[in-house]
Structure 1
Amino acid sequence: MNAVFLMLMGLGAMALGYFMYSKFICEKIFQVDPNFRTPAHELQDGVDYVPTNKYILWGHHFTSVAGAAPILGPAIAVIWGWVPAFLWVVFGTIFFAGVHDAGAIWASSRNKARSIGALTGDIVGNRARSIFMIVIFLVLLMVNAVFAVVIANQLINFPSATLPVWGAIVVALIIGQLIYRKVIGLLMVTILGVTALYGMIYLGPMLPFSLPTETMLGLTDRQSWIILLFVYAAIASLLPVWALLQPRDYINGIQLFIGLGLLYGAVLLASPDVVAPAFNREVPAGTPSLIPLLFVTIACGAISGFHGLVASGTTSKQLDKEPDLRFVGYFGAVGEGALALAAIIAVSAGFATLADWQAIYHNFGQGGVAAFTRGGANILEQGLGLDTVMAQTLLTVMVVLFAGTTMDTGLRLQRYIFQEWGSIYRIGWMQKTLPATLLAVGCCLLLAFGAGGDGAGGMLIWPLFGTTNQLLARLTLLVITVMLVKLGRPMWYTLAPLLFLLCMTTLGLLIQLKTFYDNGDWFLFTLDIVILAAAILVILEASSALTKQIKANKVVVPEP
């Protein structure tokens, strides 16, 4: 199989999904209304609620939800073969992720931009809300702590990426002022911003920067980077969205789409063969079964509960017109699917021989970001003639900017969670922005430095991210489904993905539970039981909420 055919089939299917399926979902199922007054206008405050151009908002949503996960998951999952990963990414994007993301924005905007967690109490019940809030907190804790480690490691391994990564923040601050104060048009802002970013990528290899490898103030270079990243993320989460979050996400989104275009262009020109097996029948010893682990190993890029947090936490507060949610939400999911597809191609066709591929994938969990950077750099070198250092810098900056924008949004969302808890339990000081932000940062640092002491403690609970994240996606789909039933609209377009995830996630939790027990990992074993109990409660709450709503509204459930 040539990688060009893989690329054309994947991108072609996702394009059809956007132009046809998303149009049907948004117009016939969600019934978006161009005259609906969105919360961005109704509650406009210039800080969190800001009506935003749909292209800028798409940039925010796309880069916030993408992170490193749509690279990491597919780059690990190809150990079962490229066909299962390819099919799940393509069909997951079209029928799962796009509907989930657009639906979460719709549900939140129709309820004053409240988060999915808060909505659960009204739509499903207080018990479900309690479960949801705990799951949300765990997912955000994992994402923020682990992505800080991923970024720190990339900056250590590729010093040439330091200048463009941190320089992007300065560019975003300038762009934010230019856009907000309407100094020049959006097109000119875009051209200037992208030129500046790529100029710094070009200069990066000439001006590499690393922190001292010896301990500084008792901290290693990785620990120092992690602290610096959280200091930045805390400041970013306190600023108005127009000042840094929106322009950083927008210009990064454009730059990252250009990066994807370069990678796909290199695939066309180099026309590499896929050396990875279509179905790997000789998986390394200890590799778990394809079903259900594929569907939790690849979350972002197919469907991810974290997307619902962004969609209802920040995106819905900036939605200018309700029809924009199709472009922002569904097309944002398509962008992430395109990134996941690029990761699959890079790690499947970026190596010279099957033996080279097998040397990387000798154990389950191998591959990941390192395999993407190496394989993608080889394709860029063959197709576009970029030297190895420049190609690796380009891909490293892509990974870090994705992860960094996710951290920006993730910490802001975690602050919202503490503020919502303060509102629910009537704790006045916790409802204030600064204390809630400090609590969010403190929890992340406690996890990072409290487990192992090397700054990588977030990795301790990362094995549970896939199942926990998909549990969160189920809860989001549950809220959307109940809303549709209440409105008397067809529910199978959200209920079918919900039921599929219900089966895969619950089975995945049971398999992981046995693995943790066999390995004597009692911390993860206990945490897995807690999440499994939450999954069972979700099943009960889902059944109860849907049954009650159908009876209350005398809705006849249509055949799927």
Structure 2
Amino acid sequence: MNALILLVIGLAMFAAGYLLYSRFLGRRVFQLNASFRTPAHELSDGVDYVPTNKYVLWGHHFTSVAGAAPIVGPAVAVIWGWLPAFLWVTLGTVFFAGMHDLGALWASQRNKGRSMGSLAARYIGRRGSALFLVVIFLLLLMVNTAFAVVIKDLLINTPSAVIPAWGAIPVALLVGVAVYRLRWNLVVVTVLGVAALYALILLGDAVPIVLPETILGVSPATFWIVALFLYAGIASLLPVWVLLQPRDYINGVQLFIGLGVLFLGVLIAGPTLVAPAINTALPEGTPSLVPLLFVTIACGAISGFHGMVASGTSSKQLDKEPDARFVGYFGAVGEGMLALGSIIAATAGFQTLAQWEEIYHAFNQGGVAAFVAGGGNIINAGLGIPASLSATILATMAVLFAATTMDTGVRLQRFVVQEAFESAGIKLNKLVATVIVLVVAVSLTFSQGLDGSGGLTIWPLFGTTNQLLASLTLIIVSVILIRKRRNVWVSLIPLAFVFVMSFSAALVQVGTFVSTGNWLLLVLDVVIILASVWVAIEGVTAMVKARNEPQEPDDADLLDHVATANVRTARRE
């Protein structure tokens, strides 16, 4: 089948989801109100709480939640065939991810920008909140350590990506100054910023940077990992407008252009999907499609990490409440489009089925390498762009996605550490909290050698942990909707499906870890399972209790009541 058919159907489903379903969610379920004073205005501090243009905030949210996962997951999952991956990405994005991301963003900004861990304490209970924080901390640790290794490998294997990857930092700093201090027009700044990034890509392709065997007394792998953690630590402490927002925004625009280039290559070249729709000749040792598909593709269909970003940083920057629909739901759509591009690149970017099978000779093959190679072939065939430059464009996309997720992840993990200490009655300085985060992450990354292989030690738990966290986030959203007597089925259905699949996958992994004697992962998996079950029980109890309690005042009515009261007070005075 021609890959263009898959592309058109996928994009049409995403467009219908945003134009129709997200509008229904915004108007009927969450009742987004432009009169509501968001935390960005109420608690504005110029550091974390900063009212932000919705397009800039979308760029931050989209690139932070995307990372490398929507590339890796789909490019691995096509081993079961392109059809199951395509259906989960499209339907999951429209009905699951969009609702989850928008719901988490709405719930947080309605509660002064509090994180999901903090909201768990209010809506589920303190015990559930403590266990929620454990799951969140482990998930963020997986993301930060694994993405450091992924970026390191890309910088070493694709040296042409070094200059654009690091050059994006000064470009972002200049964009931040231009937008927030010089007050330049956003369109002008966007054009100049994107032009600078693509100039860096051309420069990187012409001047690849290959580090010597030893640099500052360490190997290139060690050097890159240390540099990445130092950068992420510094970036997490700076005010969001200085680096986080402008970097993510420009990256988001540039990465959307990169996706456009890939999709244009598909339009012109019309490559054939050489992989089977349903793969009946699976390599030996490949796990069953159900439930593993639904945790292999997490980001790109639904992801608990999105709830952390939505409630950790994005909710603190929302200028107007209706912007949540564009930032939250369309952010999920952007990631779904990236996952769709990954599926096409990994199944139509090869000449023959035999070539594809050489890559997918075992489970967990493919990934970023298949995306870069296959996507580069499609761009080269469709647009005539040299293969080396095509690979540089896609590798830079992957690096920038992963790097923006990593610096946001370190900031979020700092919030989690501070919340954990505050629950124990200790107020922790953000610098000290960041040092704790970096020490733990760096220690795990180098725990098995200076090549950073330890960074992937607990990564096998990411899919199940991430999806369990998504279901726990949906529990909080469901409790709030029940208390307000809103339509709760829009969250309960995704909640039930994701929890059953991810919990089943976690149980499957218990057997795998026992059979392979991987006791560390076994212990962590059991901890995550027990914590998730406990939070789920507390959540169901909270839902039943909420149904039996008096209805919370409707937000719109409450705002009207406050406005009327203010007018009456003013008249009396």
TM range (shorter): over 0.9
Question: How many Å apart are 1:456 and its aligned residue?
Answer: 2.1
Measure how far apart 1:546 and its partner are: 1.0
Cα distance, 1:206 vs structure 2: 1.3
Q: CA deviation at 1:137?
A: 0.3
Pairing 1:512–2:509 present: yes
Q: Which residue of 1 aligns with 2:171?
A: 171
Report the counterpart of residue 184 of structure 2 in structure 1. Answer: 184
Residue in structure 1 matched with residue 539 of structure 2 by the alignment: 542
The answer as to whether partners of 2:475 and 2:536 remain within 8 angstroms in 1 is no
Taking the aligned partners of 1:224 and 1:354, their CA distance within structure 2 comes to: 39
1:293 paired with 2:292, answer yes
Cα distance, 1:518 vs. partner? Answer: 1.0
TM-score by length of 2: 0.95
Deviation at 1:521, TM superposition (A): 1.2
Greater CA deviation, 455-464 or 296-305? 455-464
- Alignment partner for residue 429 of structure 2, among 428, 432, 435? 432
Task: Work out the number of aligned pairs and report it.
Answer: 552
- Using the alignment, how far apart are the partners of 1:182 and 1:332 within structure 2? 28
State the match for 1:416 in structure 2. Answer: 415
User: After TM superposition, where is structure 1 displaced by more than 3 Å over at least 4 residues in a row?
Assistant: 215-218
Partner of 1:240, secondary structure, is coil
Could you say which residue in structure 1 is the equivalent of 2:40? 40
1:162 aligns with 2:159: no
Amino acid at match of 1:396: A
Q: Which residue of 2 aligns with 1:282?
A: 281
Q: Residue type of the partner of 1:397?
A: T
Q: In structure 2, what is the equivalent of residue 147 of structure 1?
A: 147
Query: Which residue identity lines up with residue 511 of structure 2 in the other structure?
Result: K
Q: Which amino acid aligns with 2:247?
A: R
Q: Could you list the per-position Cα deviations for residues 28-85 of structure 1 after superposition, in whole angstroms to 9, with x for gaps in the alignment?
A: 0000100000000000000100000000000000000000000000000000000000
1:246 corresponds in structure 2 to: 245
Distance 2:358 2:452 in 1: 29
The alpha-carbon deviation at position 553 of structure 1 amounts to 3.4
1:316 is aligned to 2:291: no
Pairing 1:93-242 to 2, within 5 Å after superposition = 93-213=93-213, 215-242=214-241
Unaligned segments of structure 1, at least 5 residues: 556-560
CA RMSD of aligned residues (A): 1.0
Distance 1:157 1:453 in 2: 17
CA distance in structure 1 between the partners assigned to 2:222 and 2:299 by the alignment? 27
Aligned equivalents of 2:331 and 2:536: distance in 1? Answer: 29
Give % identity: 59
Shift of 1:443: 1.0
CA contact (8 A) 2:57 2:249 kept: yes
Superposed displacement of residue 126, structure 1: 1.1
Give the Cα separation in 2 of the matches to 1:447 and 1:478.
31
Letter in 2 for 1:88: W
Paired with 1:199 and 1:235, the residues of 2 have a C-alpha distance of: 26
TM-superposed deviation, 1:539: 2.8
Specify every segment of 5 or more residues in structure 2 that has no aligned partner in the other structure, as ranges. Answer: 553-573
C-alpha separation in 2, matches of 1:345 and 1:22: 26
**1:458 maps to which residue?**
455
Counterpart of 2:22 in structure 1 is 22
The residue that corresponds to 2:561 in the other structure is none
Corresponding residue number in structure 2 for 1:558: none
Equivalent residue number for residue 398 of structure 1: 397
Alpha-carbon contact 2:100-2:491 (below 8 Å) kept: yes
3-state SS, counterpart of residue 450 of structure 1: coil
In the TM superposition, what is the alpha-carbon distance from 1:210 to its structure 2 partner? Answer: 2.1
SS in 2 for 1:172: helix
Please tell me the residue identity of whatever aligns with 1:334.
Answer: V
TM-score by length of 1: 0.97
Q: Which has the larger displacement, 385-394 or 527-536?
A: 527-536
Q: Aligned partners of 1:111, 1:217: CA distance in 2, in Å?
A: 47
Structure 1 residue 542 displacement after superposition: 2.3
Partner of 1:553, secondary structure, is: coil
The 1-side partners of 2:123 and 2:387 are apart by 53
Q: Indicate yes or no: 2:452 matched with 1:470.
A: no
Deviation of 1:453 after TM superposition, in Å, equals 4.2
Instruction: Write the distance in 2 (CA, Å) between the matches of 1:183 and 1:511.
Output: 54
Larger displacement relative to structure 2 (445-454 or 84-93): 445-454
Distance (whole Å) between structure 1 residues aligned to residue 273 and residue 76 of structure 2: 16
2:357: which partner in 1? Answer: 358
- 2:520 corresponds to which residue? 523
- Report the counterpart of residue 441 of structure 2 in structure 1: 444
How far is the alpha carbon of 1:218 from its aligned partner?
4.4
1:13 maps to amino acid: M
The CA deviation string for residues 160-200 of structure 1, in whole angstroms up to 9 with x for no partner, is 11111100001000010000013420000000000000011
Distance 2:115 2:468 in 1: 16
Aligned partners of 2:245 and 2:216: how far apart in 1?
35
Distance in 2 between residues matched to 1:40 and 1:312, nearest whole Å? 12
Distance 1:460 1:258 in 2: 34
State how far apart, in whole Å, the 2-side matches of 1:218 and 1:79 are: 41
Give 1:3's aligned amino acid.
A
| Cα distance in structure 1, aligned partners of 2:404 and 2:285 | 35
CA distance in 1, matches of 2:347, 2:550: 50
Cα distance in structure 2, aligned partners of 1:529 and 1:279: 33
